[in-house]
Amino acid sequence: MSNDAAEKTHRIRVGADVGGTFTDVVLLTEEDRLVTAKVPSTDDQSEGVLDGIRKACEKADVDPRDVDAFSHAMTVSTNALLEEDGARTALVTTEGFCDVLEIGRQDRPSLYDLNAEKPDPLVPRRRRFEVEERATPDGIETPPDPDSVREIAGRIRETEAESVAVSLLHAYADPGNEETVAEILREELDAPVSASHEVLAAFREYERSSTTAVDAYVTPKIDAYLGRLVERAEEAGVPAPLVMQSNGGIADAGTVREHAVTTCLSGPAAGVVGADATAESATDAAGLVTFDMGGTSSDVSLVRDGEVERTTEAEIGGRPVGTPMVDVTTVGAGGGSLAYVDSGGALRVGPESAGANPGPACYGKGGSEPTVTDANVVLGYLGGDTALGGELSLDAEAAREALADLADEADLSGPVEAARGVYRVANASMTRAVRAVTVERGHDPRNFALAAFGGAGPMHAAALADRLDVGRVVIPRACGVLSAFGLLAADETRDAVRTYRSSLDAADSADIESVLAELADEAKADLRNPDAASVTRHADLRYSGQSFELPVEVGESFDPRAVAERFHAAHETAHGYRMDEAVELVGLRARATIERETPDVAYSAEGDPRVGSREANFGEEVRETPVYRREALPAGEEVAGPAVCEQADSTVVVPPEWRAEVQADGTLVLKQEGER
């Protein structure tokens, strides 16, 4: 995103991100003043979103009807998959292939766990139907009989299916048969139909079928939710939402309702975009490791050379989703994650969460089980007078009681020792996630800065950096609501993909250019202003004999030698070596983007930054620790650790031997004393 490249088209913008515990809202005024709000997430997420927008508008003294643009990230798709609460879905596939979702890749979730189980298929066998037809990569051999498809439609109707996925053999290469089947089903059934050639026109039968099934599974919920949100927004005088997709770009609500699978990582993607927009300029490191710790989980991703890392090989709830998405690794360790002692006597954290209601014990809403947030209260990082979200006061005594019970169960000396253990265990889980996106992919984390955000992330960031030997932590000003802020910075984006198999040496450059042009047109077609879009083009490549591929940028013209060299370099970075083998082309991609202006937020400190002090635990030591109001720290100020910097939506912990520097835009950069 570039301020020079993107014309300023909106004066008052609002972004709303729904999390498991809180719904975060940011509002950018005409004067470039940033106003934030947090409200508890609601069962019907649209209610919480509009509540948050009204609250932000009230704080900013803005009429909701004066809002010019509204962007939104949600967890509807993610929750439907993780909680297995999507639509009753039917699958129509080629005769003999109805068990493709069940067979999968015949791999094990955990190689040495004899009790490991795969998740059940989204479509049970009683709702899987076979149609007699056949296509090959070279074309159609046997077309489907329309009457037999109508008969299948009748059987689907009897199952009371709410949605239908159609994935026929080799439809990525020639979709003719699948188009016929999908068209008849749409005529015969009062249910949405997801066709694989429209969802993911790529080879690999299992991944394509799984992605199509996921799309069908979440479409009714996404359609209903966005319908309610659009209606409520209209009643409030707010524009219809632009929705964050998993690829880090926004799209209008109508497009997303037709491509629901693109929202499976909506919220985490927004956070990475927000970190890229605000944190990278604060450091001269090779890139960022983004660390988003919310109420129920922590999400880790990578930004290299100004580009957010993306993947097409993600799994959500153990189910492959092949659409392009921000490459995020998630662990079940958030502020609300429950701490417990397992059957072997070991202290554990997550993935179960206390949620928003009743929440951690310190919320005072009736929760009694210990959580990571309770541990942070007992350790002194959060004080009894800290108001989460600017409103929720904390019950420190309830937190101590919960940790005391855990200490008894774990045979520890008391609540402080139990809190130290919970803090260390949570940090260990999050450290593994950081290593998964860095060390395991050929990147040295010491070359990156750690960008920490989310309500709980800045409390744990420096401790993670110590474990990873990372010398710099960047904490954006809007760290507690950065996913919502990222919505203001996100570009409008759409992806198109097609399988194209050829040896790179024998590749027909003219034909490849023709296919890339078609993909560019396809990607631009769904944008609100196609003529304003720029297009980037990629090729998926692998060495002969490999079963995985890497994407490399093609450039303005397809030059096989240049593309091959980019692939060799990418393979060496990812896997540590390059091979003297033939390179195969297996897929082509185009991404169309309309850039939006990155918000230029004004920052000015007001008032006395020092608000007091309290005892806080660092390692085995207890230190009297000064507490600051972050928004009162002026640009250029340095704060030596130990220190706690509080703001309405998050709390920053600066440990001993670290110092925090306030940047011109309010970003905090934490550095170790005697930095390497």
pLDDT at site 39:
86
Distance CA 275, CA 290 (A): 7
Give the 3-state secondary structure of 572-632.
HHHHCCCCCCCEEEEEEEEEEEECCCCCCCCCCCCCCCEEEEEEEEECCEEEEEEEEEHHH
Distance CA 216, CA 210 (A): 10
Asked whether residue 545 falls in the same domain as residue 637, the answer is: no
Share of the chain above pLDDT 90, in %: 66
Lowest mean pLDDT, pick from 108-112, 128-132, 300-304: 108-112
Lowest mean pLDDT, pick from 106-115, 455-464, 612-621: 106-115
Asked whether residue 621 falls in the same domain as residue 572, the answer is: no
Residues 6+ apart with CB under 8 A from 531: none
Residues 6+ apart with CB under 8 A from 89: 122, 123, 127, 161, 162, 163, 164, 165, 213, 216, 217
Give the count of domains, the chain.
Answer: 3
Instruction: Give residue 163's pLDDT band: very low, low, confident or very high (50, 70, 90).
Output: very high
- The count of C-alpha atoms lying within 13 angstroms of the C-alpha of 435, restricted to the half-sphere facing its C-beta, is 10
Q: Does residue 300 sit within a domain?
A: no
pLDDT at site 280:
66
The CATH number linked to 171 is 3.40.50
The answer to whether 278 and 476 have CB atoms below 8 angstroms apart is yes
Q: Does residue 441 sit within a domain?
A: no
Residue 406 has which token pair?
Answer: 């855990």
User: The domain containing residue 157 runs over which residues?
Assistant: 87-207
Residue 274 predicted with pLDDT over 70: yes
Share of the chain above pLDDT 70, in %: 96
- The count of C-alpha atoms lying within 13 angstroms of the C-alpha of 617, restricted to the half-sphere facing its C-beta, is 18
pLDDT digits (tens, 9 = 90+) for 25-40: 999 998 888 888 888 8
Residue 607 predicted with pLDDT over 50: yes
pLDDT at site 31:
84
Q: How many helices (H) and strands (E) does the chain have?
A: 16, 37
Final residue in a domain of this structure, among 167, 192, 207: 207
Residues for the chain: how many in total?
676
Which candidate, 279, 668, 331, 281, places its Cα nearest to that of 486? 279
Which candidate, 145, 147, 165, 144, places its Cα nearest to that of 156? 165
pLDDT digits (tens, 9 = 90+) for 495-520: 999 999 999 999 999 999 999 999 99
Residue 114 predicted with pLDDT over 70: yes
Residue 7 predicted with pLDDT over 60: no
Asked whether residue 112 falls in the same domain as residue 154, the answer is: yes
Q: Does residue 603 sit within a domain?
A: no
Residue 162 predicted with pLDDT over 90: yes
Which candidate, 36, 26, 28, 23, places its Cα nearest to that of 68? 28
Which candidate, 487, 516, 490, 493, places its Cα nearest to that of 593? 493
Residue 263 predicted with pLDDT over 70: yes
Instruction: Give residue 282's pLDDT band: very low, low, confident or very high (50, 70, 90).
Output: low
What average pLDDT does the structure give for the chain? 90
Q: Does residue 268 sit within a domain?
A: no
Final residue in a domain of this structure, among 185, 207, 229: 207
What's the pTM value of the predicted model, to 2 decimals? 0.86
Task: Give CA separation, 240 vs 523, 531, 599, in Å.
Answer: 22, 22, 20
What is the average pLDDT across 396-413? 94
pLDDT at site 391:
59
pLDDT at site 386:
66
Asked whether residue 98 falls in the same domain as residue 193, the answer is: yes
Q: How do 310-311 and 325-326 pair as beta strands?
A: antiparallel
pLDDT at site 389:
56
Asked whether residue 584 falls in the same domain as residue 625, the answer is: no
Instruction: Give residue 4's pLDDT band: very low, low, confident or very high (50, 70, 90).
Output: very low
